[in-house]
Structure 1
Amino acid sequence: MSRRLRFVSLTPDQQRILNEAYQYGEKRALRRRAHAILLNHKGHTINQIRDIIGVKRDTVSTWLSQWEADGIEGLQDKPREGRPHLLSESDLAVLEQLVEEYPHQLPVLHAKFQEQTGNVVSQDTLRRALKKRL
């Protein structure tokens, strides 16, 4: 049983967009997906693309479907949820104010922060927030 060969046809504008994504894309995933679409347009089969890029055949097929359905937007990673932040913007503002009063005194800062906000977090959480914020 042979599989139907599947190839996308691209306009010059689409080729330019995919080439830019492949060469200058910010994320590796987008560059790989754009590369796969370009290879398919040049006549490579899904199995050949699978071997070149090193992913499963179904993955390449999914990328082709996403391209056909949504264009370059279909190749972008979708936003992911993740764990909610432990510290709100108002908590971070309080933390910044406390740092000015108690610099280099993390245990004191930790106690004052919990006292003022009622938010129970570890000293490590405060340290990471300060490192990221300041």
Structure 2
Amino acid sequence: MMKKIVTPITDSAIIDTLKYAMRNGPLPYVRERAHAVLLSSKGYSLAQIADIFGVQYQTISQWVDDWECLGIQGLYKDHGGGKPTIYNDQEIERLAELIAEEPRRISYAQAKLEEETGKRASLKTLKRAAKKNRFGI
């Protein structure tokens, strides 16, 4: 089996950027991934890196693949995790309109939106969407 590692990094600017991201990255997972890429570039195996970070081999493999394909952007996650939103941008805009019509009756917005989109959501979900988008409930 061939040992999978990051293509050796020889550009000092990239190494400096990764070191900076490792120490000062905006999010803990960015710092961790930058560190993992640096270790892989130095010849550590993915199994060794997985052991160092206490994660699965496949996780490190994905980090390396993301780095190889996307560079620095690969250190960041595609999304924040969690369940995808129920409503698209246009439906969120419609929710804002409905809330503006009847700001004290979110159940009105819930019924109207369900009627228009065919998508069912709880009052809690609608309140969360309104709060996230600053609709002023």
TM over 0.5: yes
Q: Which residue of 2 aligns with 1:22?
A: 22
| Deviation (angstroms), 1:19 | 1.0
Alpha-carbon distance between aligned partners in 2 of 1:129 and 1:88, rounded to the nearest angstrom: 11
Aligned to 1:13: 13
What's the TM-score, normalizing by structure 2?
A: 0.60
Structure 1 portions without partners, runs of 5+: none
Q: 1:50, CA displacement in angstroms?
A: 4.8
**Partner residue of 1:95?**
95
Match runs of 1:39-78 below 5 Å: 39=39, 45-46=44-45, 49-55=49-55, 69-70=68-69, 72-73=71-72, 75-77=74-76
Please identify the structure whose Cα radius of gyration is greater: 1
CA spacing shift, 1:119–1:19, aligned 2, 3 Å: same
Equivalent pair of 2:30/2:76 in contact (CA under 8 Å): yes
RMSD between aligned residues: 3.9
Please say if residues 21 and 31 of structure 1, whose CA atoms lie closer than 8 Å, have aligned partners that are also in contact: yes
Count the aligned residue pairs: 128
| Percent of matched pairs sharing the same residue | 28
Q: TM-score, normalised by structure 1?
A: 0.60
Asked whether the 8 Å contact 1:34–1:75 carries over to 2, the reply is no
Unaligned runs of 5+ in 2: none
Q: Is the 8 A contact 1:39 1:49 kept in 2?
A: yes
Q: 1:35 to 1:102 in 2, by over 3 A?
A: same
1:18, distance to aligned residue in structure 2 (A): 0.9
> CA, structure 1 residues 21+114, in 2 after alignment: closer, same or farther (shift >3 Å)?
same
